[in-house]
Amino acid sequence: MPVPRGIGAPDSTQMYGGEPVGPILEMKGITKRFPGVVALSNVNLVVQAGEIHAICGENGAGKSTLMKVLSGVYPAGTYEGEIHYEGRVQKFDSIRDSEEQGIIIIHQELALVPLLSIAENIYLGNEQGKFGIVDHEQTHRRTVELLAKVGLNESPETLITDLGVGKQQLVEIAKALSKKVKLLILDEPTASLNETDSAALLDLLLGFKAHGITCILISHKLNEISRVADSVTVLRDGATVKTMDCRETPICEDTIIRYMVGRDMADRYPQRQPNIGEIVFEVKDWTVFHEQHADRKFIKGVSLNVRKGEIVGIAGLMGSGRTEFAMSVFGRSYGRNISGKVHLRGESIDVSTVSKAVAHGIAYVTEDRKGYGLVLENEIEHNISLANLPGVSSHGVIDSGREFAVATDYKRKINIRCSDVFQHVGNLSGGNQQKVVLSKWLFSGPEILILDEPTRGIDVGAKYEIYTLIAQLASEGKCIILISSEMPELLGMSDRIYVMNEGAFVAEMPVAEASQEKIMRSIVNAGKN
């Protein structure tokens, strides 16, 4: 991806010249309280102009809350402490106030309108024109310029729904640039991207740095932080633990982890002694056509099997069909004109609806926990019981006492960090939301558990807890299908790996024979055929 030119405020390069000249931002003694909870306690943050400053911490450490204070989501007066920006004390009462000063935040959940074009999304709320009339020619011209700066070769008229997640992320950044950004905040920008798109995005941030734009990067991918960050601030339990200058001394991942979780983590993955039995679950000659394009075969006659107590990984690049395959098997939640057979212990089973799939002991933990996995405005206890209402009901009436007992039990067993099970799921950290999704499906009593990106966007400590839970389920004889874009995760957790490319399995290998290079070679070679 080319280094961008002419980015940001017109005088940004002259202002900073790509080199830090002093702090652009100082947050002093920030304390933020919610009813019964101190989310931030006397947090201090200093960001130098023109640098990439990473913020790390476990889920619930206060990273997003701190950025919401900075950007005006939590307005002045709702927190204690001071924000100094460009040498002046600032009191932002809204996001619009901070954006007018060049502070732009891009959230992990992209805020784009799918059925509007790229140009319409970039200038939504900031329409180009006069006297209430949109100048479409000017909008188109400026969008072309912005897309060139972020290296996105798409027409401004392309609908967002027709773009992959990686390209949508670039549209969000182009939108930020349209607002004359000086301080760009990115919250888990690569969480949904494959390795190629992630690397391109990090190169783009380095290009911004060279042109004087300051970036705050929130990420759980410590290898990415090690690659691009000039400074790292670690938060734990709502307090500043440590700020490190990576330019003085290179910071290793183990050091960051120690500050994040308060302990060393010698092993990223729990030790397992697999006890693998007979084949329990099989999918044979599975074919799925695209939902919108009925003539396009998306999943191409694939077959897969899982043995008792086995963790089977599915590797592949973004768009390879992994999620679509999983969703189509789980009650035909995706696709049309689906054909093929699903066998449980050698017997053909009907998985034509979600309820039938669940009745046969199949559970699917979606990659989109907020969109499909949870009801965010509902309490924890209601979410946990959703997939097995008969388990908390008598004669069709929910027994609130039983529902409370079940939720409390899973809160304890899976270590869901919350005030109580009456807390709204939308107020939990990403890692704890993921634990609620897992609890929901475990309560349904599954025999086959399909996990689609189960650790996406969560910190290393919470990841280890989920890995431990997956290993425990396998030791109990459950069949686990693990879909992940993180190859170290697949190699660290799986017993056997299928490699998917363009809707087909192009390789299968025991983990003892697998490596990142071998997996990528399988994908590349398949693409040549």
- CATH code for position 524: 3.40.50.300
Q: Are residues 287 and 353 in the same domain?
A: yes
**CA dihedral sign of residues 45, 261, 452, 381:** negative
Q: Name 341's bridge partners.
A: 284
Coil, strand or helix at 35: coil
Q: Are residues 523 and 383 in the same domain?
A: no
Q: Are residues 440 and 461 in the same domain?
A: no
Residue 105 has pLDDT above 60, yes or no: yes
The one-letter amino acid code at 200 reads A
Q: What is the pLDDT of residues 419-472, one digit of tens each?
A: 889 999 988 877 888 889 999 999 999 999 999 998 877 777 778 888 999 999
Residue 286 has pLDDT above 60, yes or no: yes
Number of compact structural domains in the chain: 3
In a domain, 154, yes or no: no
Q: Which of 385, 420, 445 is the last residue of a domain?
A: 445
Host domain of residue 428: 377-445
Q: Are residues 39 and 98 in the same domain?
A: yes
Q: Are residues 343 and 425 in the same domain?
A: no
Provide the edge-to-edge strand list for the sheet that holds 279-289.
297-307, 279-289, 336-344, 347-348
Q: Nearest 5°: phi and psi at 504?
A: -135, 150
Q: Which of 202, 229, 261 is the last residue of a domain?
A: 261
Q: What is the pLDDT of residues 143-163, one digit of tens each?
A: 998 888 888 888 999 998 888
Contact 231, 30 (CB under 8 A): no
Q: Are residues 293 and 441 in the same domain?
A: no
Give the pLDDT score at 502: 86
Q: What is the pLDDT of residues 466-514, one digit of tens each?
A: 899 999 999 999 999 999 988 888 999 999 999 998 899 999 999 999 9
What is the β-pairing status of strands 479-483 and 448-452?
parallel
Q: What is the pLDDT of residues 180-196, one digit of tens each?
A: 889 999 888 877 676 77
In a domain, 382, yes or no: yes
Q: What is the pLDDT of residues 42-64, one digit of tens each?
A: 999 999 999 999 998 876 788 88
Q: Are residues 221 and 93 in the same domain?
A: yes
Global pTM exceeds 0.85: no
> The tokens of 104 are what?
């732009």
The alpha carbons of the chain give a radius of gyration, in whole angstroms, of 24
Helix (H) or strand (E) holding 499: strand 496-501
In a domain, 489, yes or no: yes
> Residue 237 — pLDDT band, cuts 50, 70, 90?
confident
Contact 54, 217 (CB under 8 A): yes
State the chain's mean pLDDT as an integer. Answer: 86
More confident residue, 124 or 164: 124
In a domain, 223, yes or no: yes
In a domain, 111, yes or no: no
Q: Which of 261, 291, 312 is the last residue of a domain?
A: 261
Give the pLDDT score at 527: 58
Q: Cα separation of 150 and 7, whole Å? A: 9
Q: Are residues 418 and 281 in the same domain?
A: no
In a domain, 200, yes or no: yes
Report the interhelical angle of 400-413 vs 430-443 (nearest 10°): 120
Q: Are residues 218 and 249 in the same domain?
A: yes
In a domain, 473, yes or no: yes
Q: Are residues 223 and 243 in the same domain?
A: yes
Average of pLDDT values for 21-32?
A: 91
> Residue 529 — pLDDT band, cuts 50, 70, 90?
low
Q: Among 203, 213, 152, which residue's Cα sits nearest to residue 179? A: 213
Contact 326, 364 (CB under 8 A): yes
In a domain, 6, yes or no: no
Q: Cα separation of 449 and 361, whole Å? A: 8
Q: Among 220, 303, 300, which residue's Cα sits nearest to residue 268? A: 220
Q: Are residues 206 and 231 in the same domain?
A: yes
Q: Are residues 188 and 95 in the same domain?
A: yes
